[in-house]
Amino acid sequence: MKTRDWPITERPRERLLAEGPTGLTDGELLAVLFSGCGNGGFSAIEIARRLLADFGSLREFLSADSKRCLKQLGIGPARYALLKAALELARRHYGHALKCTSLQYTTAEIRSFVHAKLRDKPYEVFCVLYFDVHYRLIRFDELFRGSIEGSKIYTREVLREAIGCNAFAVVLAHNHPSGRPEPSHADHLVTRRIKEALALVDVKLLDHLVVGETRCVSFADRGLL
């Protein structure tokens, strides 16, 4: 049976409009994006459920590469582009909140933004968020990819970029592709060296966030700055 033939109170799109998105399952939310893409006798919700079963989770599906996704029933180039656009819009939504609000009120938004940006990267990424004197985000940069062991170049580049954008404060962030966010010895060394270098030009280091699969570890929260 096609989704449009279901009772109106059971259709994902109509339920979302009437009740909001939080009550919908992962499969139902995907089905809203797949509306009108029934294929091979399967409805949008059936296709969504098959995808979640095949990939194991919503996260695995959304972070899969295009080659794998485009082999799936109901996923063509247009549908794949729609999914990626929706995911990027969510990431930018968090970034917009940082630009409009003072940092002291948006600690949760910073962590959500950084987590969304870095959690699914298959490689290590070192990033910096630069803030003005009112703690509004000036810029978010992905400075390096790869191991954090090369600490000297991190210090030099972070300092140069902070001065270049006239930053008052910065937040460092990087991910651990292993999924475990516990800071390494190298993480501690890099943090200390960058903090000392920034202090020479009166730029504050507010935090260093280490992103894992399900959470971020904050150097500031642990009293490590």
Per-residue pLDDT of the chain (225 residues; tens, 9 = 90+): 455 556 556 677 888 888 887 778 888 888 888 776 556 567 777 888 888 888 888 778 887 888 888 888 778 888 888 888 888 787 777 666 666 666 554 678 888 888 888 888 888 899 999 999 988 888 888 888 876 665 466 888 999 999 999 999 999 999 998 888 999 998 999 999 999 999 999 999 999 999 998 889 999 999 998
**In the numeric block, which tokens belong to residue 223?**
């009293």
Residue 213: its pLDDT value, please? 85
Determine contact, residues 213/177, Cβ cutoff 8 Å.
no
- Which structure tokens are listed for 58? 């919503």
R_g over Cα of the chain: 21
Which residue has tokens 């009166």?
202
Domain(s) of CATH 3.40.140.10: residues in the chain: 101-218
- Tell me the fold of 101-218: Cytidine Deaminase; domain 2 (3.40.140)
Q: Hey, how many other C-beta atoms are within 10 angstroms of the C-beta on 34?
A: 25
Burial of 105 (0-12, 13-18, 19+ CB in 10 A): exposed
Beta bridge partners of 145: 125
* Residue written as token pair 């003072």: 102
pLDDT for the residue 101? 60
Contact 125, 114 (CB under 8 A): no
